[in-house]
Amino acid sequence: MNKVLYIILISLFSLTIFSCAKDTDEKTTTATATLSAPDNLSASGANNTITLTWNSVSGATSYTLYWDNVSGIDNSDTAITSITNDNYTHNNMDNGSTYYYKVAAVNSSGTGTLSSVASAILSANIQGSETNEGHTYALTSSTMSWDSAATAAAAVGGYLATLNTKAENIWLYEKFGTYGGTARDLWIGALDNVTEGTWYWYNGTTSGDGGVSDNISSGAKWPDGSNKWHTNEPNDYGSGSGTENCGTIRSSLSAAEWRWNDYACSGSYYGIIEVD
Ligand SMILES: [Ca+2]
Ligand SMILES: [Ca+2]
Ligand SMILES: [Ca+2]
């Protein structure tokens, strides 16, 4: 073969290979990316059912929901696929567990980033459960003494709520203070049963917030200057000192009220359970 022709053919062959490689690279860089995580995943539990809602993601063809009854959800957990709405009703769930969820948007490139976690508790002793800021909250199914409410909380791995911020306080009032349309007082985890007038959270102190959570004495205020306790409360009302030693959110007042009252611990109210 002519040596010059041979070199020309080899050169053309190399050029063809180079061109093909370049085409492949361009296809990769222009492919559609997977989608970002849906915001505001929320879980509400009651009556063996958990209802989940989230913000829709532009470009999603469906959503995949991952769940388990232990925390630490990732894409190896049980998946519910092909959800075409931005909500899901999870039916026929067993009582006695806390259920954890994350959701991801799906497009032609696959499953996107998983959302933050939402959770709800189902228990025979609980009538409703909601998530806020990474904590699970639940309302006891009936009224009971403070001690019984604390026992019900421990039975699901929680405690009667510690109110760390005004936002948490108001959120709890709005979610549970008139749950099911009935205004009710709600046991929280505040006590002055050891030394009259010395209020503390029975579940322990909170560090790292400048003492905001732990200051629950009479006259205590949130950082915005609003009072934690209702007007003239706590008043240890009743015959003799130490009569009212357990804290509540006082939602039963005719005027909407998220602030607190002290009641006799033997009183019968609903409890707000908090689970970390
Ligand atoms: Ca709390
Ligand atoms: Ca008292
Ligand atoms: Ca009182």
d(CA 207, CA 75): 34
177 CA from centroid of ligand 2 (Å): 23
> Which pLDDT does position 187 carry in this prediction?
98
C-beta of residue 190 within 8 angstroms of C-beta of residue 261: no
**184: its two tokens:** 């009710």
232 CA from centroid of ligand 2 (Å): 13
269 CA from centroid of ligand 3 (Å): 14
Q: What is the CA angle 118-269-219, rounded to 5?
A: 85
**143: its two tokens:** 């009224």
Confidence check: pLDDT of 22 > 70: no
154 CA from centroid of ligand 3 (Å): 25
234 CA from centroid of ligand 3 (Å): 5
Q: Whole-number mean pLDDT of the chain? A: 88
C-beta of residue 213 within 8 angstroms of C-beta of residue 162: yes
Among all bound ligands, the one having the nearest atom to the CA of 231 is 3
Could you tell me the sign of the dihedral formed by the alpha carbons of 156, 70, 204, 122, in that order?
Answer: negative
d(CA 118, CA 122): 14
Among all bound ligands, the one having the nearest atom to the CA of 243 is 2
Counting Cβ atoms within 10 Å, is residue 29 exposed (0-12), middle (13-18) or buried (19+)? exposed
Of 184-188, 248-252, 260-264, the range with the lowest mean pLDDT is 248-252
Mean pLDDT score, 242-269: 89
pLDDT category at 131 given cuts 50, 70, 90 is confident
d(CA 114, CA 87): 15
pLDDT category at 132 given cuts 50, 70, 90 is confident
The secondary structure of residue 71, as a DSSP letter, is S
Radius of gyration of the chain (CA): 28
Mean pLDDT score, 171-190: 91
Task: Specify whether the backbone of 10 is left (phi greater than 0), alpha (psi in -120 to 50) or beta.
Answer: alpha
126 CA from centroid of ligand 3 (Å): 26
Among all bound ligands, the one having the nearest atom to the CA of 190 is 2
User: pLDDT tens, 32-91?
Assistant: 899 999 999 999 888 899 999 999 999 999 999 999 999 899 999 999 999 999 999 999
> How far is the CA of 214 from the CAs of 163, 187, 227, in angstroms?
9, 17, 14
> Which pLDDT does position 19 carry in this prediction?
46
> Which pLDDT does position 179 carry in this prediction?
84
C-beta of residue 82 within 8 angstroms of C-beta of residue 65: no
pLDDT category at 252 given cuts 50, 70, 90 is confident
265 CA from centroid of ligand 3 (Å): 11
80 CA from centroid of ligand 2 (Å): 50
Confidence check: pLDDT of 12 > 60: no
Of 8-12, 74-78, 95-99, 213-217, the range with the lowest mean pLDDT is 8-12
Percent of the chain with pLDDT over 70: 86
What are the counts of helices (DSSP H) followed by strands (DSSP E) for the chain?
Answer: 3, 16
β-strand partners of 97: 122
Cis peptide before 38 (omega within 30 of 0): no
269 CA from centroid of ligand 1 (Å): 19
> Which pLDDT does position 241 carry in this prediction?
59
**177: its two tokens:** 């203070």
**Domains in the chain, please, with CATH?**
42-122 (2.60.40.10), 126-275 (3.10.100.10)
Confidence check: pLDDT of 276 > 50: yes
User: pLDDT tens, 214-236?
Assistant: 999 999 999 999 999 999 999 99
263 CA from centroid of ligand 3 (Å): 5
**55: its two tokens:** 């913000």
Confidence check: pLDDT of 28 > 60: no
Among all bound ligands, the one having the nearest atom to the CA of 165 is 1
196 CA from centroid of ligand 2 (Å): 5
229 CA from centroid of ligand 3 (Å): 10
pLDDT category at 27 given cuts 50, 70, 90 is very low
Confidence check: pLDDT of 24 > 90: no
d(CA 109, CA 11): 38
> Which pLDDT does position 103 carry in this prediction?
98
The secondary structure of residue 180, as a DSSP letter, is G
pTM for this prediction: 0.76
Which residues does 242 contact at the CB level (< 8 Å), separation at least 6? 193, 196, 236
User: pLDDT tens, 143-161?
Assistant: 999 999 999 999 888 999 9
159 CA from centroid of ligand 2 (Å): 20
276 CA from centroid of ligand 1 (Å): 8
> Which pLDDT does position 256 carry in this prediction?
63
